[in-house]
Amino acid sequence: MNEQAADLPSIAWGIIGCGDVMERKAGAALASLPGSRIVTVMRRDAAKAQAFAKRHLVPNWTTDASAVIASPHVNAIYIATPPAHHLEYALQVCAAGKACVVEKPAGRSEQETHAMVDAFRRAAVPLYVSYYRRDLAKFERVKQIIDSGELGAIVAINYRFAKPRSAQTWRIAPSRSGGGHFYDLAGHALDLFDDWFGPLELLGSGVTNRIPSHETEDAVALTFRTPDGAIGSASWNFAAAAHMDELCIEGLGGQLHLAVMASAGSVRLELTPAAAVRTSRTRSQRALRQIKSRFGVATHRRFRFTKPAQAHRDFLARVVGELARGEVASPSAALRTSVLLNRVLDHYYGGRCGAFWERPARWQSLRQQAVRRGAGTRDYALDGAQLATFEAQGYLGPFQCDGEWQRLRIPLKKGTNLHLSDPAVFELCTHPSIAHRAAQMLGPPGAALFKSRFVVKAAGGGTPVAWHQDVGETNGGYYAGGAPVPSVTCWLALDRTTLANGAVRVVPGSHKALYGDYRARLRAKLLEHGVIAAADVARAVTFELEPGQFYLFHSWLLHGSDVNRTRQRRAGLNMRYTRIGDEYEAGCIYLPLAMGS
């Protein structure tokens, strides 16, 4: 790091991790607050570190966090990396005797947060966790209203937050983040509650995962009690159909309504007339008469707040002021919030002690439930004769699906890989009646689900499917040596399926070779180019099925189907499995099920 000599202001910052938080919320504030200056920044990506330094007129940048911490020109460190690095860097900062601000959540677990807080307490070095909302004007006004007694004794606190599913990020990788979206975001609300009402006592909680593409918590509900005896409930849903952010604080004299995750917007106070009169002694006699005349109707006040240009500015202004005065901050409230978050999630993760992120088998995710549901099952064991038939012919069936296939909603469009987003589809694709049999065909160590697709042919039409094999780049991928990866397909009938309405047809034994330009799949034109003969098609077997029945077949088996010539729809669900360890298709999400091993 090429440090430049400079006269230090009272607080000279070094930033470790100059990503989104620094760009949108904190960087400009640190650079512009009186008595505050950014001296150097660190990011592992050198080009991005340099670009950030240039944009924010920071004289120095580096890719080495230890260089920032050791710099003699820095007397305070802001850690804005993912939580996986918080404890490591914070302990180094503490050992250097420098003040520290760490992004929330402070640690991936209660243990990590405790270790961090305890180290700074022993060293008498200031430590802050960036729960910045309590310093915003909107939430300071809420605290003033509660403390004023206008609401009377607080009876209940009810909070609901909902957000539609978001893209996959590191925030739902517990090894980096400590949990899912709840662990990342819920601390903001709980920290505010701690500020307004005092330490919360957890009474109960429930946690669930409903999006199969990841294993972290999607929906959480909890109940709590405040030191004064008010009862609270709160829920977070990160798989919602629509956004919601509603807090209602109920007192004997009225209610307070606001959104917690929005720094702007309004705070609505509704007081009963009697309470309004008691708390309006400074009002004019005319105003009091108006309130009294509205007996039986609540009186309303609305406080409006604009969005701050720099979300962290008020928080950081307090931090800079306290550091300049030599105060030693201890994040007791942040530690209480960490303890609460971790205890809410404890059962879901099978305990959050130590490196719990390395023990996903203990979690209550949909994936792990599927693995446990199928582990050791013998209910759908295939005998030697069946496996020999599969080896020779390339298919087996029909079988009866014992999963709840009737619950499926058949989409008209975009029916691909819904097992990653729809719990009902996922639970069916992982049901042992299907997955355990597929795993036995694939052999140890078991099956990994990697594709699903609804296939629908409308009455009197649909598209004919040419003879082809499912093999290659987007159909299982290739081994490192270039050979294509085999897989097993399940074709589950959701309607009665016959030759007349376009049932799947297969050529027995054809899975043992690859035909023609197999990479072209449906465009290979195997019949037209004479690669396969009419005699091959003549011996094809038709998968005629009743609803809820299925066939399993080797994906290299030649198969195709005709148009639907009937007045009835033909719908099915196609599922693909490969052997665990054969995850070679780029961009595919593989869900190991470890069945049949």
Residue entry with tokens 């690859």? 514
Q: Which residues on adjacent β-strands are paired with residue 206?
A: 221
Return the pLDDT at 287: 54
**More confident call, 320 vs 521:** 320
- DSSP per-residue codes, 83-114: GGGHHHHHHHHHHTT-EEEEPSSSSSSHHHHH
Q: pTM of the prediction?
A: 0.89
Closest CA to 377 of 418, 334, 434: 434
Cβ neighbourhood burial of 231 (10 Å; 0-12, 13-18, 19+):
middle
- Tell me the pLDDT tens digit for each residue of 464-493: 899 999 998 889 999 999 999 999 999 999
Return the pLDDT at 297: 47
Query: Residue 290: is its pLDDT beyond 70?
Result: no
Return the pLDDT at 576: 97
DSSP state, residue 409:
-
Return the pLDDT at 285: 54
10 Å Cβ neighbour count for 111?
Answer: 17
d(CA 566, CA 570): 9
- Tell me the pLDDT tens digit for each residue of 507-536: 999 999 998 887 777 777 888 888 888 888
Query: Residue 541: is its pLDDT beyond 60?
Result: yes
Return the pLDDT at 374: 77
Return the pLDDT at 7: 47
| Window from 107-121, 270-284, 512-526 with minimum mean pLDDT | 270-284
Across the chain, mean pLDDT equals 92
Residue 338 token pair: 């960490």
**455-492 in b/e burial notation, b at 16+ Cβ within 10 A?**
bbbeeeebeebbbbbbbbeebbbeeeeeebbbbbbbbb
The whole-number average pLDDT for the span 47-55 is 94
Return the pLDDT at 171: 93
Residue 171 token pair: 């925030």
The whole-number average pLDDT for the span 432-454 is 95
Starting at the edge strand found earlier in the chain, the sheet holding 541-542 runs 465-468, 559-561, 505-506, 541-542
Query: Residue 276: is its pLDDT beyond 60?
Result: no
d(CA 178, CA 571): 42
Return the pLDDT at 284: 55
Please give the share of the chain, as a percent, with pLDDT higher than 90. Answer: 81
